[in-house]
Structure 1
């Protein structure tokens, strides 16, 4: 019995992704779900009443500018890595790490500003939500800064270049996500405060 085999030209290849990138995307989706549920809970709890009205710390405007600038410097570093421009890569990564650290310091001062306005973690839910939002974001940002430092060190060892972009691409994805998440949280608080 003769079997017939047909050769199919242009058969589609399955979509593949590096396992670490896939894990990063799963993590990002889980973080999105956490913050989506928290912002939903915020709206529901605010509607129940007994909600402390206070002005958001003005330092949030500065942190928003800082996070956008850090995304710009990281993009410059990413483009430099694609072109094997190691000096620009190192400089961009260094500036991004520095801006990430400045953002974290500013987050600390935003909590100081809240305490100065008698807004505490324990007490009214309005303050509690604000501390949870900024605290959770800061924890994720610390992990992002650690990732940035790892890529910075790798760039000084010439392990980040046009033929080895995996870690850089993951770092860029995660950092831009954290920046977008902060801007979302800030806009959400401005509109629902």
Structure 2
């Protein structure tokens, strides 16, 4: 009982010590996770046999965009490594690549919607087809938020890296370290969400 109580207190202390940004992000991820969970369950019970009966395949744009998102996850990991190595050039480069890949992913998702329509899968058609648009659209919405934050972060970091003093502070500032950690964590979270959705889409055709 004593050990359990101590562990409970330690957990509460960790939660209380979280930065407001961390608390907001974790709560947001929890809420987003519930949204995707409920929509995924609804998709699974939305007469997917009708979608499979159309004898179509997953849009090629979805396949390519999935590959790009996986690569962006690697570049996001490189952001943290560059920060730990105090390599500003690599940090900015990895951040730039991540945003570009995210943008390409978004464009290809829209192209994928046009492919779905060409295959006869309309947004207002069968329920399972509608969920393909809804789930991918909500994912894009969440990813756009991460890209906007990344662009703001890039501009701020690029400005600081030009000054020797600011550059030194950048790599020793716990707040900057936290922002980069939270961004990469959220990006990987969105990667995982899409990979799960994509797998469900593939199994549904």
| Aligned counterpart, 2:4 | none
Q: 1:56 to 1:175 in 2, by over 3 A?
A: same
TM-score by length of 2: 0.82
Q: TM-score, normalised by structure 1?
A: 0.87
Deviation at 1:23, TM superposition (A): 1.0
| CA shift for structure 1 position 45 | 2.0
Q: 2:45 is paired with a residue of what secondary structure?
A: helix
Pairwise mapping of residues 65-80 of structure 1 onto structure 2 (< 5 A)? 65-80=67-82
Q: Which of these residues, 105, 115, 118, is aligned with residue 116 of structure 1? A: 118
Q: In the alignment, what sits opposite 2:138?
A: 136
- Note if 1:188 corresponds to 2:189: no
Pick the aligned partner of 2:183 from 145, 154, 171.
171
Aligned counterparts of 2:24 and 2:107: Cα–Cα separation in 1: 29
4+ long deviations beyond 4 Å: 49-52
Matches of 2:105 and 2:39 in 1, distance apart?
A: 22
Distance in 1 separating the partners of 2:80 and 2:146: 16
Displacement after TM superposition at 1:50 (Å) = 5.0
C-alpha contact 1:83 1:162 (8 A) present in aligned 2: no
> Residue 63 of structure 1 corresponds to which residue in structure 2?
65
What is the CA distance between 1:59 and its match in structure 2?
1.8
Between structure 1 and structure 2, the one with the greater Rg is 1
What residue in structure 2 maps to residue 8 of structure 1? Answer: none
Structure 1 residue 173: Cα displacement: 1.3
Is contact 1:151–1:171 with CA below 8 Å preserved after alignment? no
Matched residue, 1:146: 148
Contact 2:79-2:180 at 8 Å conserved across structures:
no
* 8 Å contact from structure 1 (residues 78, 168) kept in 2: yes
For the residues of structure 1 that align with 2:184 and 2:138, how far apart are their CA atoms?
20
Find the residue that maps to 2:47 and give its secondary structure. helix
RMSD: 2.0
Unaligned 5+ segments in structure 2 are 1-8, 161-165
- Structure 1 gaps of 5+ residues are 1-10
The 5 A counterparts of 1:21-100 are 21-46=22-47, 51=51, 53=54, 54-100=56-102
Partner of residue 171, structure 2: 161
Q: Distance in 2 between matches of 1:45 and 1:12?
A: 43
